[in-house]
Structure 1
Amino acid sequence: MAVTHTMAGEPRQEDDAPHVLVVDDDQRIRSLLERFLRKEGFRVTATADATEARRILGGLVFDAAVLDIMMPGEDGLSLLSHMKEGGETPVLMLTAMAEVEQRVRGLSLGADDYLGKPFEPQELSLRLKNLLRRRPDVARVVRFGSFRFDLKREELTSSGTLVRLTERERRLLRLLATRPGATVPRQDLVADEQLGDRAIDVQMNRLRRKLEDNPADPRYLQTVRGLGYRLVADLVDDT
């Protein structure tokens, strides 16, 4: 697995900085983009293949993505199609200069921009910033009962009062809130590197004590026996 985190000596990014997913099987290109985009003020999560990218996308919402077209296994065009089915994340495709037909196909599938290899990192950064400027400022909010969870800020409030959450509680709630009403498989939660198998139940019980009138008979954070968990939401605001 090639998911990355802040490296020593690099500036720590603000939580509200644009979060970019980079998918490329070339380790040299991934490392280059990670370092450069962080210096440009982005948060970066990077992986080497579409399979891992799909797992990550199951639990996180990104502001933009950079996908290489040619990768072993599932290619970038298939991953692009999957992403556009589930949301409107701006996607920049990386292509070899000779791959004209693939660039055309990518645009037909919903790619927002493309950049041929080799490329200048500064140009890629500028293209990403242009994509983000063109994107509406969507602050998705999930409401349930008196609670309001802002996915962009990762803040939970109850009747306007901030509810304090631990980092693991916040992460668990975010994973559920990205798919309100849908069952999130237990294996997806366990796969999150900050939430281990045994920790899931502990964190869920703690979160229920903060959200439920009767944690033993939860209304919002429900267990789907044998499958996983779901967040029952009253309303999802996309604006």
Structure 2
Amino acid sequence: MESRVLLVDDDQELCELLADYLQQQGFQVHAVHDGDTALPEIERQAYDAVVLDIMLPGTQGLDILRKLRESSHIPVIMLTARGEDTDRIVGLELGADDYLPKPCNPRELVARLRAVLRRSGGEDNRGTSAAVEISAGDTRLNSATREASHGQHNLALTSAEFNLLRLLVSRAGRAVDKETLSREALGRPLSAYDRSVDVHISKIRRKLAAAGATDLIVSVRGQGYQFAVDASA
């Protein structure tokens, strides 16, 4: 089944280039060119992923992402101006699954899309029905439904957050280095100055804390992160 992708960018020439390449790679693609059209379009059609530019006419990309995350966990790849680290970090904080600097290489975009779709179950995992559940203490994850909870609280994780927490929980009690977290959970090697793992972990910690669980994900100096089972569980 072809994955449906929505491109949101006011650069129509770039959209045509990306759409042509994505279609050649087996994606169904639709493009809109202003922020005010994006959310109604996402609500109108069932898309598997969104490629979202930050700078848009009308509603800005970060505002679209913020609104989208109130009700949806659809994978989102942000397009950011090269060198704008602040935009990337804010995008990740708001729930973006990944980012690419503009101008982006269509081949790299395809690789990133396939990675986020695999992580979300939107590609290659379709048709699997067997529930794969893992847990550590009161924290539970179901890979079939992509749901995570702590106690009676749903954690409402994004695709990237789910995969990071699943990896940490599966190796509870052991430190997992950032390179492994990036490769296995985010689908790409860790690059210099890449803070994606740290930003996602920070968000997971906040969601666990809101569910009454603090200090479950600990930093291991010089290594990475470790999931520690709640001593009271």
Which amino acid is the alignment partner of residue 49 of structure 2?
A
Find the counterpart in structure 1 of residue 51 from structure 2.
66
| Secondary structure at the counterpart of residue 70 of structure 2 | helix
Q: Is residue 2:71 matched to residue 1:92?
A: no
CA offsets 1:14-41 (integer angstroms, 9 cap, x no match): xx31000100001111111110100010
Alignment of 1:54 onto 2:39:
yes
Alignment of 1:218-237 (within 5 A): none
Q: Secondary structure at the match of 1:33?
A: helix
CA RMSD, 1 decimal? 1.4
Question: Residue 72 of structure 2 aligns to which amino acid in structure 1?
Answer: G
What is the DSSP-based 3-state SS (H/G/I as helix, E as strand, rest coil) of the residue aligned with 2:77? Answer: strand
Letter in 1 for 2:113: L
The one-letter code matched in structure 2 to 1:29 is L
Aligned residues: 124
Q: Distance in 2 between matches of 1:57 and 1:66?
A: 12
Identity of aligned residues (%): 45
Amino acid at match of 1:54: L
Displaced runs of 4 or more, over 2 A: 136-139
AA of the residue aligned to 2:70: E
CA distance in 2, matches of 1:57, 1:131: 18
Structure 2 unaligned segments of length 5 or more: list them.
128-233
CA radius of gyration, larger in = 1
Measure the CA separation in 2 of the matches of 1:92 and 1:32: 17
Q: Determine the structure 2 residue equivalent to 1:21.
A: 6
Question: Structure 1: which amino acid aligns with 2:67?
Answer: H
1:112 aligns with 2:84: no
Structure 1 gap segments, 5+ residues each: 1-15, 140-239
Return closer, same or farther for 1:52/1:84 CA change in 2, 3 Å cut-off: same
Residues 110 and 138 (structure 1), Cα distance of their counterparts in 2 relative to 1, 3 Å cut: farther
1:110 CA displacement: 0.3
Query: How does the TM-score come out when normalised to structure 1?
Result: 0.50
TM-score for the superposition, normalised by structure 2: 0.51
- The one-letter code of the counterpart of 2:93 is S
Once the two structures are superposed, what CA deviation does each residue of 1:78-128 show, in whole Å capped at 9, x if it has no partner?
111121112110000001112111111000000000000122100000000
2: distance between equivalents of 1:28 and 1:59? 24
Q: Give the one of 14, 19, 26 matched to 1:34.
A: 19
Alignment partner of 2:118 out of 133, 137, 140: 133
Amino acid aligned to 1:102: D
**CA deviation after TM superposition for structure 1 residue 138, in Å:** 7.3
Q: Give the equivalent residue in structure 2 for 1:121.
A: 106
Residue 58 of structure 1 aligns with an amino acid whose one-letter code is: E
